[in-house]
Chains A and B, each alone.
Chain A
Amino acid sequence: MSLDNSQHNSDRPPETNVKFWHDPAKRAVLFQVLLVGAIILFATYIAINTLNNLEQRGITTGFSFLNETAGFGIPLSLIEYSEASTYGRTFIVGLLNTVLVAVLGIIGATILGFILGIARLSDNWIISRLAAIYIETFRNIPLLLQMFFWYFAVLRTLPSPRQSIEFFGSYLNIRGLSMPAPVAESGFSFVVIMFIAGIVATWLLTRWAHKRQDVTGQQFPIFWSGVGLIIGLPLLAFIVAGTPISLDHPELKGFNFRGGMTIIPELVALWLALTIYTAAFIAETVRAGILAVPHGQLEAASALGLPKVRTLRLIIIPQAMRVIIPPLTSQYLNLTKNSSLATAIGYPDLVSVFAGTTLNQTGQAIEVIMMTMAVYLSLSILTSIFMNWYNKRMALIER
C-alpha cells in the first residue's frame, strides 16, 4: 500500500496532489483533534451522570463537609483530636498517621534490608543461605497476608489488660504496649538546644577536618568527636539542669490503662509487616548495587593497601549507593503506598479514617477519593523530582 503511494507521488509534484490523509503531519493533527473531542464527550457524559446521581441521592458537591463535625473517635492521633473535631481535621490526623508508619517502616526496612543485602553476599554459606531464604520467602507472600498474620495470629493472642505482661513499668496486653511517657519539665528546652548545637558543631568540625586533610594530609577523629558532641553535650546539659524529665506511668483503671503512652497493636502489626516485606526488596537492591561495583575497584583498593573496612567505606559504598538509591527511593514510595493496607486491620491511616469512615458518613465519594489520591500522587511526584535532582547531581560528580 505505502509503496504504491510513493510511486504515485514520484510521478507528480507532491505538494499539489497529496491528500491530507496521506500527510502524516495533517493526519496527526486530525487524530489528536478527534481524540480530544472523544475525551471531552466522555467526560461530559460522566459529569452529567454524576450530577444526576448525586442529585438523586441528595448529596451536595463541594468541600464544605470538611468543616462539619466528624463525631467519631480515632485511637491514635499525633495532634489534638476529639469527636467534636471536623472532617478536615480527620484528614490531617490520617495523613500524619500515614506519615508516622511510613517513616517508621522506612527506617526499619532500610536497616534490615541493608543487613540482609550484605549478608546475602557473605562468603559464609549459612549466612548467605539464610538471607536468601528470608528474601525468597517474604517477597513471595502477599503483604496483606503477612499483616493479618502479625495482627490476628500473633498480637491478638496477647492477654487481656487485667492479665498484662509487666516489665520495667510497662504493660503488654491485647490493647497494645502501655509505657511510661516522658514528660518534659522546665529546663528541658536547654537540652534540646544543646542537642541542636551538637549537630551544628559536628557539621562545622567535619568541614574543618576535611579542609585540613586536603591541605596537610592529617586526619582528625571526626566520628568519635561527633558522637561526643551530639550525645555528650545534651547529656551534660541534662545533668546540669537537674534531670528535667519526669515519667507519666500508666495505671490500670477499669478495663484499660490510663496515662503513659500506648503503642497500639495495629501500628505494631503494620510496621512489622511493612518492614519485613520491604526489607526483602531492599536487600535485593543492595545486593545488586554492591555487585555492580567492578571487581577492579576492589583490587585497586587492596593494591593501595586499604584495610577491609576502609575499602568498604571509601570505595564500595560510595559507588554502590549511586546504583542503590534510585530503586531504593521507589521502594520507599511502594512502602508508603502499601501502608494504605492499614485499613484492613483498622490502623487509622489516611485511607482508613478518610476514604473509609469519613466517606461512609458523608457520602462525598468524589471529593474524598480525589483528596486521598492527590496526597499519594503528590508524594510520588515529590519523589520523582528528588530522583531527577539526585541523578543530575550524581552525573555531575561522575568522572
Chain B
Amino acid sequence: MKYDPQPTLPAPPGTLGVVGWMRKHLFNGPFNSIATVVLAYFIIIFMWPVIDWAILSADWIGTTRNDCTSDGACWVFISQRLNQFLYGFYPEAETWRLDLAFIMMAALIAWLIIPKTPFKGWVAAFTLLIFPFIAFVLLSGGYFGLESVDTHKWGGLSLTLVLAVVGIVAALPFGILLALGRRSHMPIVRSLSVVYIEIWRGVPLITVLFMASVMLPLFFPEDMNFDKLLRALIGITMFQSAYMAEVVRGGLQAISKGQYEAADSLGLGYWQKMNMIILPQALKLMIPGIVNTFIALFKDTSLVLIIGLFDLLAIMQASANDPNWIGFSTEGYVFVALVFWVFCFGMSRYSIHLEKRLHTGHGNRA
C-alpha cells in the first residue's frame, strides 16, 4: 500500500501574524484585554503631551531665551551651554586637550572590547599603565609647553568621567590586594582586610566624601596641600576599592580548587600562582562585575557637588540658576538624565552581553 501523506493543514485562523500575536500577548482573557485597553489609553494620554513638549512644539534654534517663544521645551538653553556642560570652566582654547584625551580613551576601550583585535594584552597594559600619565599631562598641562590648567577649572561631563575612570582604575589594584588579603591564610592580614572592606561598604559615599574633604587635611602636615579634586579622588578610591575587593573575591571564588592545587603541585610560589594561574582566569570572569561597579560609581560621582566640585549635574544646576536662563531647569535635568542614562544603559547592556559570552557552559548553571 502506498503511503500518501496528507498536506499539512494551515495553522488555525487567528494564531499567526499580527492578529495571532495580539491575541496571545494582549487579549488573552478578559482581565488582560481590559488592562491592555486601559493602559494603551493612558499611554496615549500621557505620552502625547510629553512628545509635544519635548519635540513637536520645542524650540531648537536660537541664542537667547527670547528665542524660546513656544510652549514646549527650550533646547536652546542646552545648545548654548553645551560647552560648559562638557568642559566646565576649562579654558576654551585648550578644550582640544580634553577631546584628545577622551577620544584616545574611547579608542583604547573600543580596541579592548571589540572581539578579535590583535595585541589585546599590550593595549590593556598601555591603557592601565601608560595612558593615565598621558591623560594627566594632557588634562592638567604644565609640561611640553602645554598651559597648566588648575583643577578647580575642571568640570562638566569631563570631570564626571575623570572621577569615575580614575576611581575605578585606581581602585582595581587595591581591590585585588584586599581580596587576596581576605582569602589569605594569615590571620592578621585576613582580619585587617575584612575590617577595611566592611567599614567602607557599610557607610554611605557621602560621609566618605565629607571625611575626605574635612578630615584628610587634618591628617597630614599643614604644608602638604591637597586640592579639592585630589581629596575627592582619594575618598572615592578608598571607598571603591572595598567594593572592587568584593567583585574580585567573587572572581577568585569562581576558580575551581583544582586550579589552585595544580599550581601548588607545580611548586609555584604564592605570587607566581596568582599572577600566572589564578588572576588571569579570575579577571576575565570579573569584567561584568567591574562594569557593574563602574555603573554604580558613575552615577555616584554626582555626589561630589556636595563638597563643591562641578560635575555635569552641578554645572547644569548652576547654569539653570543663571538669571539669563532661569526657569529652564526641567530641560537641564532631562538633558543630564539622558546623558547619564545613555552611558549607564549602554554599559549595563555590554555587561549582560559579556556575561552571556563568558558563560561558555562549563559552570553549573543551566
Taking Cβ atoms with an 8 Å cutoff, the residues of A that contact B are 1-3, 6, 24, 28, 31-32, 35-36, 39, 46, 49-50, 52-54, 56, 123-127, 130, 136-137, 139-146, 148-149, 152-153, 337-338, 340-341, 343-344, 351, 355, 359, 365-366, 369, 372-373, 376-377, 379-381
8 Å CB contact of B305 from A39, A152, A344 = A344
8 Å CB contact of A140 from B43, B189, B348 = B348
Chain B interface mostly helix, strand, loop or mixed?
Answer: helix
Q: A145-B340, A343-B306, A377-B202 are in contact. Are A125 and B26 (CB under 8 A)?
A: yes
Number of interface residues of B (CB under 8 A): 58
In this assembly, does B220 line the interface, its C-beta being within 8 Å of a C-beta of chain A? yes
A24, A149, A381, most chain B CB atoms within 10 A: A149
- The 5 tightest CB contacts between A and B, nearest first, are A380-B202, A140-B344, A125-B25, A337-B204, A142-B299
Complex contacts, A141 vs chain B, CB 8 Å: 299, 337, 340-341, 344
Taking Cβ atoms with an 8 Å cutoff, the residues of B that contact A are 25-26, 28, 32, 35-36, 39-40, 43, 185-189, 192, 198-199, 201-204, 206-207, 210-211, 214-215, 217-222, 267-270, 272, 295, 299-300, 302-303, 305-306, 313, 317, 320, 329-330, 333, 336-337, 340-341, 344-345, 348
8 Å CB contact of B268 from A2, A366, A369 = A2
Complex contacts, A123 vs chain B, CB 8 Å: 25, 28, 32
Complex contacts, A126 vs chain B, CB 8 Å: 26, 35-36, 39-40, 43
Q: A140-B340, A142-B340, A145-B336 are in contact. Are A153 and B330 (CB under 8 A)?
A: yes
* Contact between A366 and B215, CB atoms less than 8 A apart: yes
In the complex, which residue of chain B has the Cβ closest to the Cβ of A373? B203
Q: How far is the CA of A125 from the CA of B32 in the complex (A)?
A: 9
* Contact between B219 and A50, CB atoms less than 8 A apart: yes
Q: How far is the CA of A136 from the CA of B305 in the complex (A)?
A: 25
19 A–B pairs (Cβ distance < 8 Å), ordered by A:
A2-B272, A53-B217, A124-B36, A125-B25, A126-B39, A140-B340, A141-B341, A144-B303, A148-B333, A152-B320, A153-B329, A153-B333, A344-B303, A344-B306, A359-B214, A365-B215, A366-B218, A373-B211, A377-B203
Chain A interface mostly helix, strand, loop or mixed?
Answer: helix
Q: How far is the CA of A373 from the CA of B267 in the complex (A)?
A: 45
Q: A140-B341, A144-B303 are in contact. Are A49 and B221 (CB under 8 A)?
A: yes
* Contact between A351 and B206, CB atoms less than 8 A apart: yes
Complex contacts, B330 vs chain A, CB 8 Å: 149, 153
Q: How far is the CA of A372 from the CA of B209 in the complex (A)?
A: 13
In the complex, which residue of chain A has the Cβ closest to the Cβ of B327? A157
8 Å CB contact of A351 from B210, B217, B300 = B210
Complex contacts, B192 vs chain A, CB 8 Å: 35, 39
* Contact between A369 and B36, CB atoms less than 8 A apart: no
* Contact between A46 and B219, CB atoms less than 8 A apart: yes
A154 to chain B, nearest CB (A): 9
* Contact between A143 and B299, CB atoms less than 8 A apart: yes
A6, A139, A142, A369, most chain B CB atoms within 10 A: A142
Q: A344-B306, A377-B202 are in contact. Are A372 and B207 (CB under 8 A)?
A: yes
* Contact between A36 and B188, CB atoms less than 8 A apart: yes
**Apart from the given pairs A153-B333, A365-B218, A373-B211, 11 other A-B contacts in the complex at a CB distance below 8 Å:** A35-B189, A39-B192, A54-B218, A124-B25, A126-B40, A144-B302, A152-B317, A337-B203, A338-B204, A369-B211, A372-B207
Q: How far is the CA of A145 from the CA of B316 in the complex (A)?
A: 11
* Contact between A365 and B214, CB atoms less than 8 A apart: yes
B363 to chain A, nearest CB (A): 16
B329 to chain A, nearest CB (A): 5
